[in-house]
Amino acid sequence: MSELSAVAPESALNAPQTPVLRIAPARGWWALPLAELWEYRELIYFFVWRDIKVRYKQTAIGASWAVIQPLATMLLFTAVFGKLAHIPSEGLPYAVFYYAALLPWTYFATALQSASNIVVSNQHILTKVYFPRLTLPLFSVCTGLVDFAISFVMFALLLAWYHIAPTWHVIWFPAFLLLAMLTALGVGLWLSALNALYRDVGHILPFLVQFWMFASPVVYSSSMVPAKWRWLYGLNPMAGVIEGFRWSLAGRGAAPGVLFAVSSAIVLLIFIGGLAFFQRMETEIADRA
């Protein structure tokens, strides 16, 4: 017994140490886990594919809903705000004028609502499997691009119907689309974290989206805003996005220089703040799930 007791401590010291992996949330936007997000890129693809399949499962016309919603809204706006109210359309046919605005707005509204509810709707897996929580709002914003692409085909046909050819302005189109994505992601980061903590956000969101639409140049042009107040109007990031879409795709009107500059600065602040807030509240979000 004494010989065994003397050998035991030495063997315990020589035994291989079991590695311990500690998982902790990153702190602040400067700790953005880009390498980890890239490692989980296939998970983002899986989430996007799953969401698309669930959205159009057991529907009679499938992805055609991505076209019907902006098309029906465009027809309504053309009849009410165009033919009846005679709102100026910058020389564009009313159908093109409104569809060019509804194209980014529909994407933004859908992506924002999806990103805001994504943590709550996936709370059953938050405490069971580890993955970067930032994946959730990121994939919800990417999912909306599928519907956007389908709607964009309809817009291209609309331009062809009215014999409107693209101009060199179209090279700016990716920049305005990226700005719309960052706006949806930035605001979605704030609202998704708040919605996981306070369910009141889910009740406020529909009103917020509706109010935001009428505060954006969807049914009217930003040229109706006095020039001295246009920079203030640009504090609404979707103002620069919508006017940018009209200018880059339809090739009419002046370049939204001031709106785009102010909107880009505001989006950058919202996005950076949203990253910091989301990652700071990550642990509490998982505890509330």
Number of domains in the chain: 1
Domain membership flag for residue 26 = no
- What is the C-alpha to C-alpha distance for residues 30 and 27, in angstroms, rounded to an integer? 8
DSSP code of residue 158: H
- What is the C-alpha to C-alpha distance for residues 135 and 237, in angstroms, rounded to an integer? 23
**pTM of this prediction?**
0.82
CA distances, 155 to each of 95, 146, 227 (Å): 10, 15, 30
Domain membership flag for residue 73 = yes
Domain membership flag for residue 160 = yes
Residue 197 has, within 13 A of its CA and on its CB side, a CA count of 14
Domain membership flag for residue 10 = no
- What is the C-alpha to C-alpha distance for residues 258 and 228, in angstroms, rounded to an integer? 11
Domain membership flag for residue 40 = no
Which residue shows structure tokens 């069971």? 128
Return the number of other C-beta atoms located less than 10 Å from residue 13's C-beta: 7
Low-confidence ranges of the chain (pLDDT < 70): 1-34, 58-63, 126-127, 283-289
Give percent helix, percent strand, percent coil of the chain, each to the nearest 5.
75, 0, 25
Domain membership flag for residue 20 = no
Domain membership flag for residue 60 = yes
Q: pLDDT at position 8, please?
A: 47
Domain boundaries, position 91: 47-288
Domain membership flag for residue 8 = no
- What is the C-alpha to C-alpha distance for residues 244 and 255, in angstroms, rounded to an integer? 7
